[in-house]
């Protein structure tokens, strides 16, 4: 079959060319965006008197029929058509004849693909935002149950200070909030239509780019046609935003894995989201969080791949840019399924409060509180730190936690320690003493929950 662009060619193309050159096997995913863009373009051409109304109607009906054929699995895909744009245009011409050949007036595949892909990225961004919001809601509902579930807060994965499980979860709430904000900001930055930019320089036809932009849900047309057909920043930002979101998910996944070990036992992952071993009958493996952690790798790889494709490309469209789609499709699919499985995984996990509470009693977690107590009595902090170190050594030698030392034992380390110290060394008291904004005390955590809830309503 002769190619649509074969006018100036005299030899047949190599059979390998189709396989190497065609994007149809993967860009057929963009059929709905391509059809929506073409309908908006045809309507505008009609309004501007470039096509007559009969032609516009035939085009619209033809495109709608093609959409049905694709969705009902009746469309005849031919790799020789090269890409989704030409596959649809060829079928349109088969269906409606010469009017089909007029659709491409004042348009090029360069602005067409930029439009289709941007529409896809915008749609997926909206879905990712909705899923992230659902994840934050899930985190909030678990957090509300656990504002007094005490656990060891860690640095260097070593016990540091007592915090609540709610507080720990809300750290992820804050991260995922930033992710939503990043998606929203990219969405707004790129909500402009490249349609009508044609090959690179615009078009001499009297088209109305404002009209098609509005019709397709954009803020307006893009600024410069040469940039618009060359630009893939919208795809790169999506890849970066997904990579960063996956990095956050991987950190939570890592904690879920650690928390579900025999050594920690802080949580139990529901059987619905765990797997067994083919040889060891007793095993229950955290495959889901492991895969969440592992899939982060491909999200980074996809970002790196497209950054590298775009590096040093001269303006305007170059075929290199066809490599933009598969990486984005893969990152979108990875991000979506990761969010979709993380939400029920969190909802169904069991939180083992007793194990967390036991763990808090190991590691002298209220040591900072003893130092702070001494500081309040006029002891310089460095000295208070040293004295507390002595108290910790005493507790160690007695096989106790610092919070379990008697008043006499504490006073043997420093006379300035009074009877009021013990309520300060109580681990719950220590947790609830950190009342300043962003802290782990009950009131501070309640403020964080309220702030996130308010934000969810507004975003
Ligand atoms: N299949 C191409 C892509 O995905 C569409 C744009 C082709 N444009 C061109 N001038 N060859 O990038």
SS3 for 270? coil
Cβ–ligand 1 distance for 23 under 6 Å, the answer: yes
Cis ω for the linkage preceding 454 (within 30 of 0): no
Q: Which of 30, 83, 320 to mutate to test the pocket of ligand 1 (most atoms within 8 A of CB)?
A: 83
- Around 398, how many Cα atoms within 13 Å sit in the side-chain half-sphere? 16
Q: How many helices (H) and strands (E) does the chain have?
A: 20, 6
Among candidates 142, 193, 187, which has minimal Cα distance to 169?
142
Say whether the peptide bond before residue 411 is cis (omega within 30 degrees of 0): no
- Does the annotation count 156 as an active-site position? yes
The torsion angles phi and psi of 280, rounded to 5 degrees, stand at: -100, 105
How far, in Å, CA of 386 to CA of 378, rounded?
A: 14
Per-position pLDDT tens, the chain of length 459: 678 888 888 888 788 999 999 999 999 999 999 999 999 999 999 999 999 999 999 999 999 999 999 999 999 999 999 999 999 999 999 999 999 999 999 999 999 999 999 999 999 999 999 999 999 999 999 999 999 999 999 999 999 999 999 999 999 999 999 999 999 999 999 999 999 999 999 999 999 999 999 999 999 999 999 999 999 999 999 999 999 999 999 999 999 999 999 999 999 999 998 888 887 888 889 999 999 999 999 999 999 999 999 999 999 999 999 999 999 999 999 999 999 999 999 999 999 999 999 999 999 999 999 999 999 999 999 999 999 999 999 999 999 999 999 999 999 999 999 999 989 999 999 999 999 999 999 999 999 999 999 999 999
Q: Is the CB of 113 under 6 A from ligand 1?
A: yes
- Residue with the smallest CA separation from ligand 1 atom 3 is 322
> Does the beta carbon of 321 lie inside 6 Å of ligand 1?
yes
Is residue 167 in contact with ligand 1, taking CB distance under 6 Å? no
* Spacing, Cα 195 to ligand 1 middle (Å): 14
Contacts of 396 (CB under 8 A, 6+ apart): none
**Cα separation of 70 and 84, whole Å?**
11
* Longest CA span, the chain: 101
CB 116 near ligand 1, within 6 Å:
no
231 vs 56, 62, 396, CA distance in Å? 30, 31, 63
Distance 336 CA to ligand 1 centre (A): 27
Among residues 273, 437, 419, the alpha carbon closest in space to that of 346 is found at: 273
**Residue 277 catalytic?**
yes
Catalytic residue among 277, 331, 338, 397: 277
């Amino acid at each position: 079959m002769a190619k649509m662009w074969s006018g100036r060619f005299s030899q047949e193309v190599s059979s390998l060319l189709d396989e190497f050159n065609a994007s149809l096997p993967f860009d057929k995913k963009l059929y709905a965006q391509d059809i929506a863009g073409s309908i908006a373009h045809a309507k505008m051409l009609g309004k501007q008197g470039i096509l007559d109304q009969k032609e516009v109607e035939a085009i619209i009906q033809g495109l709608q029929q093609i959409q049905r054929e694709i969705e009902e699995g009746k469309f005849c895909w031919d790799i020789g058509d090269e890409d989704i744009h030409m596959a649809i245009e060829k079928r349109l011409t088969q269906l409606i004849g010469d009017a089909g050949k007029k659709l491409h007036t004042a348009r090029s595949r360069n602005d067409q693909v930029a439009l289709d892909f941007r529409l896809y990225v915008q749609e997926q961004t909206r879905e990712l935002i909705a899923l992230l919001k659902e994840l934050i809601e899930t985190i909030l509902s678990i957090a509300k149950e656990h504002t007094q579930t005490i656990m060891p807060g860690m640095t260097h994965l070593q016990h540091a200070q007592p915090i609540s499980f709610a507080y720990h979860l809300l750290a992820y709430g804050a991260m995922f909030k930033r992710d939503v904000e990043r998606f929203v900001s990219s969405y707004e930055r790129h909500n402009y239509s490249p349609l009508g930019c044609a090959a690179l320089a615009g078009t001499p036809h009297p088209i109305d780019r404002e009209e098609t932009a509005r019709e397709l849900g954009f803020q307006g047309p893009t600024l410069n046609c040469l940039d618009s057909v060359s630009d893939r920043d919208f795809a790169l930002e999506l890849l970066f935003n997904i990579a960063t979101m996956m990095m956050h998910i991987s950190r939570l996944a890592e904690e879920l894995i650690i928390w579900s070990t025999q050594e920690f036992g802080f949580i139990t992952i529901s059987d619905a989201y765990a797997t067994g071993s083919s040889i060891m009958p007793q095993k229950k493996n955290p495959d889901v969080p492991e895969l969440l952690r592992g899939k982060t790798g491909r999200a980074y790889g996809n970002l790196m791949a497209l950054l590298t494709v775009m590096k040093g490309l001269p303006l305007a469209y170059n075929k290199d840019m066809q490599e933009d789609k598969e990486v984005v499709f893969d990152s979108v699919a990875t991000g979506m399924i990761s969010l979709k499985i993380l939400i029920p995984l969190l909802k169904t996990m069991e939180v083992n409060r007793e194990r967390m509470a036991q763990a808090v009693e190991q590691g002298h977690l209220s040591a900072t509180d003893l130092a702070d107590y001494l500081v309040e009595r006029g002891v310089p902090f460095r000295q208070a730190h040293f004295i507390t170190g002595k108290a910790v050594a005493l507790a160690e030698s007695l096989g106790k936690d610092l919070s379990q030392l008697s008043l006499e034992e504490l006073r043997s380390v420093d006379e300035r320690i009074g009877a009021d110290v013990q309520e300060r060394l109580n681990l719950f008291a220590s947790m609830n003493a950190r009342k300043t904004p962003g802290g782990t005390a009950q009131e501070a955590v309640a403020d964080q929950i309220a702030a996130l809830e308010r934000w969810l309503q507004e975003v």
